[in-house]
Chains A and B, each alone.
Chain A
Amino acid sequence: MEGTLNLIGAGLVVIGAGLGLGKIGGSAMDAIARQPEAAGKIQTAMIIIAALLEGLAFAALILGK
């Protein structure tokens, strides 16, 4: 039972992280389309935010295990 709940929790974490990453990626795409000359800076910022989000998701996955 506990194992199943853990798996459901892991799924929820992945859904949340996926939504977050999708939003970051989509916004970055929009921003790059509007200002292609700032693509480098936008990419760097995007990677940082994505890394922070990923860290949060991994923390949840590891603490939940």
Chain B
Amino acid sequence: MVILRKPLHVIAAIAIAMLPLFSFANVSVDSVKNESHEVHASAEVHHETAAEPQDKKAKVDAYIQHHLQDSYDFTFFSDEKEGKHYGFSLPVILLDNGLKVFSSSKFHHGETVAEVDGNFYKLYHGKIYKTDAAGTISYDEHHHPTNAKPLDFSITKNVVSMLFASALLLLMFVGLAKSYKKGPIPTGFGRILEPLILFIRDEIAIPNIGEKKYRKFMGYLLTVFFLIWLLNLLGMTPLGINVTGNIAVTICLALFTYFITQFSANKDYWMHIFWMPGVPVPMKIILMPIEILGTLTKPFALLIRLFANITAGHVVIMSLIAMIFVGKNLAADLPISLGLTLFISIIEVLVAFLQAFIFTMLSSLFIGMAVQDHHHDDHH
């Protein structure tokens, strides 16, 4: 049986390895067919077949761009032929001479002008502009709209996703906290969470911040870790959520780290920034602006890393899925596309954890730098 099974594995592996070859063969056959077809066909038809993939590519491009941006409605999928969007509208909240609250269904996905109390608003490239009744948008010489933009506090797709993640976190951790009342060992889902919390404490917080001072920062570190991780994982679901791949969200998270670091910093930290001890005076003057810049580049690296990693992951997965629609031969493209998507998705699950871990790790590293006691009496 064992001997029988092994050759089967080998044959299966070879068959899978040969799949790309089959697909290449099919494509060449296909192109030969196409050529013969094109020879017979008129120039007009030839033009059409050449134009179609380009159009598809542009469509895929627009779709990916749309996915990466925040939107005013939660669309799961849409039927292009009927022009129907399946999903639900979200409330739009504008501050423009008083509070204006209305449903985003009034925009009809940017196709119509929304009228609220005599004011007209139009959705243009994902942003709300104030317009007249006809919805005209005027442009400056760089083709930027010059219409007034009302202050926007809308519950957008990202806000809904974050609220959902927060509710989920609250549910999980309140459950865990309650289970400690019954005894020292958590029950149910808390058994998964407890080791993670201990991991954050023992592997991230204590080594970086120090045994004495870590407690104050555990709340922030745990929150940021679980929020980023959960949002990254939600981005892997087919709901079309992309929160941590939105630069505004990562800027906000990095700002939290920045302010916590600066406000909890001790005397030593500020002395090392403004008047580095142990170096000659001219060097101190040169080091001061560099150190001040250094405090800003650290959170900047944090926000860029998270944003770029998640955005890159989403773009890669969507591009690989798009291979099915752009390619000419469905039978050949489908297994390749699905296989690669599966492979990248598995890597993305790892990246989702890794990015949450790195964000927490570096946050605690920066906080640790700011709060640690320096023991430098003689050297330096």
A contact set with B: CB distance below 8 Å = 44, 47-48, 51-52, 54-56, 58-59, 61-62
Contacts and interface: CB of A to CB of B under 8 A. Distances in A.
Contacts of A54: 305, 309
Chain B interface residue number, banded: 10 to 19
Interface string B217-237: 000000000000000000000
Interface string B61-99: 000000000000000000000000000000000000000
Contacts of B305: 51, 54-55, 58
Contacts of B304: 55, 58-59, 62
Nearest to A52: B301
17 contacts: A44-B203, A47-B354, A47-B357, A47-B361, A48-B358, A48-B361, A48-B362, A48-B365, A52-B301, A54-B305, A55-B301, A58-B308, A59-B300, A59-B301, A59-B304, A62-B304, A62-B308
Which of A47, A48, A55 has the most B CB atoms < 10 Å from its CB? A55
B280 to A, nearest CB: 29
A12 B365 CA distance: 30
Nearest to B359: A51
5 A-B pairs with the lowest CB-CB distances in the bound complex, closest first:
A58-B308, A55-B301, A55-B305, A51-B358, A59-B304
A59 B361 CA distance: 19
Interface in B305-323: 305, 308-309
B302 interface: yes
A61 B304 CA distance: 10
